[in-house]
Amino acid sequence: MTWVPSTAAERDAMLSVIGVQTIDDLFASVPAELRAKSWALPAGISEMAVRARLEKWAARNAGGVTSFLGGGAYDHFIPAAVDALTSRSEFYTAYTPYQPECSQGTLQSIYEYQSAICRLTGLDYANASLYDGGTAVFEATTMAVRLTRRTRIVCHASLNPIYRSMLETHVANLDLELVDGESPEGAACVIVQNPGFLGDIEDFTALAERCHEEGALLVMSFYPISLGLLKTPGEIGVDIAIAEGQCLGVPLNFGGPWLGIMATRKEHVRKMPGRIAAATEDAQGRRGFVLTLQAREQHIRREKAMSNICSNEALCALRALVYLTLLGKEGLRDVARHCHSKAEYLKKRLSFAQILNHGPTFNEFAVRLPRNAEEAADALVSRGFLAGLPLASLGAGEPNDLLIAVTERRTREELDAFAHALEEVCN
């Protein structure tokens, strides 16, 4: 079992070029007392057997169910061309474009991706990607600390509780003060999410103004698909916009790889973490693209870098770019319109439950069922539905509360059938 091409004869020939007898001679610098004390691994199995095992495991996971599960990751449709194009090996087997002349495909696609994110958010600069939506909250926080030299971080109640707990983990050893609320006084930043974790759309324009009066930054985690309709971070006055980009053509992947998006205003770009591509020219005046402002990054600045990020989520950013390019200007608005309209339709079918949102929502909303939400969700799997996220499991609601997400993939028939089934299991 091997992906090594060399034959025994070739190895011998190479050893004699090197001038040693055996392969073990090449490991002479590893003293005997430091050799592996155990190597209790199974023997290799054939490609056929590996596939069979993984197919068996894959089949033990929920398949063929109609999903209303969201909570930060969404079951949007992915056009076939996204997979076809991003599975070209010239993309997925390439490394970071440190040699720009043989990486123009990568660099131009990063430039186009940054352009798409700027057009989507109404902000001036986007980076080439961060790890995911949760770590992007941490990166935005440290960026705000660098920009304001303040140490108080305010988390708004709209923020995904998982992001909130990831932030806590990441800052545990820093001299920062994490507080809940929305007062920008003395703060480096206020971190909000729109739509909020429970689905509420809020207009944070006034909060942005208050932040700026107080010398604080407004950080907003947004849902990229919702920007097909909603007011942009740029229009709101957001300083650093971040997002989980999974919804843009990246499969659910049981949590990863996903895509961390970050965009900011012109005046903050030199403190932004992550790679950035820029257009330039060669000696003959031909346009080309390079990585720029690298003095922000770890390979140049080491312990003084803006971030430690090196490998990012480039291939997922390419997926997002291909997705947005296929959808185009009208397509993205259509997807958003469908998500919102279908969610509103479903909301009206759930009269047996109490809708917990008081204002407008986009494609996700919270309901209080007449029954324990975990039990209801469990009962619905056998009827072919993932009913949503029981909120108590994240400490984000009462035992009967369920967070329901609707994407453009859901048909009216499915919505009717789901409303009916949910009502039945609640009775």
The residue (of 309 and 380) whose beta carbon lies closer to ligand PLP is 309
- Least distance CB 411 / other proteins (angstroms): 6
If you search the block for the tokens 């043989």, which residue do you land on?
102
Give DSSP secondary structure letters for 315-362: HHHHHHHHHHHHHHHHHHHHHHHHHHHHHHHHHHH-TTSEE---S-BS
Q: Which does 27 bind (CB under 5 to 8 A by kind): ligand PLP, other proteins, none?
A: other proteins
**Residue 311 found at the interface with ligand PLP (CB under 6 A):** yes
Tell me the per-residue interface mask from 163 to 192 with ligand PLP, x by CB under 6 A, - otherwise. ------------------------------
Residue 75 zone, left/alpha/beta (φ > 0; ψ -120 to 50; rest):
beta
Q: Report the residue number, 238 or 318, with the smaller CB distance to ligand PLP.
A: 318
Contact range with other proteins by CB under 8 A, out of 58-66, 149-157, 177-185, 419-427: 58-66
Backbone angles phi, psi at 316, to 5 degrees: -70, -35
Closest of 297, 228, 220 to residue 265, by C-alpha? 220
Region 111-140 residues binding other proteins, contact defined as CB under 8 A = 111-112, 114-120, 122, 124-126, 128-129, 131-135
In whole angstroms, the minimum distance from the beta carbon of 15 to other proteins comes to 7
Rounded least distance, CB 116 to other proteins, Å: 6
Q: Is the dihedral of CA 383, 386, 388, 389 positive or negative?
A: positive
CA distances for 176 relative to 187, 214, 308, angstroms: 10, 18, 18
Structure tokens that stand for 364 in this block: 């996700």
Closest by Cα among 322, 315, 320 to 90: 315
CA 130, CA 242: separation in Å to the nearest integer?
9
Residue 28 CB, nearest approach to other proteins (Å): 7
Please report how close the Cβ of residue 132 comes to ligand PLP at its closest, in angstroms: 14
Please report, as residue ranges, which positions from 233 to 272 form the binding site for other proteins (by CB under 8 A).
235, 251-257, 269
Rounded to a whole number of angstroms, the minimum distance from the CB of residue 143 to ligand PLP is 19
Please say whether the beta carbons of 135 and 262 come within 8 A: no
Spatial CB neighbours of 295, under 8 Å, sequence gap ≥ 6: 301
Where in 332-371 is the site for other proteins (CB under 8 A)? 332-335, 337-338, 340-345, 360, 362
Minimum CB separation of residue 204 from ligand PLP in Å reads: 33
CB of 131 or CB of 362, closer to ligand PLP: 131
Q: Which does 427 bind (CB under 5 to 8 A by kind): other proteins, ligand PLP, none?
A: none
Stretch that binds other proteins, among 81-89, 146-154, 212-220, 418-426 (CB under 8 A): 81-89
Say how far apart CA 413 and CA 106 lie, in whole Å: 42
Report d(CA 164, CA 156) in Å as an integer: 10
Q: Which of 23, 50, 310, 381 binds ligand PLP (CB under 6 A)?
A: 310
**Contact footprint for ligand PLP (CB under 6 A):** 310-311
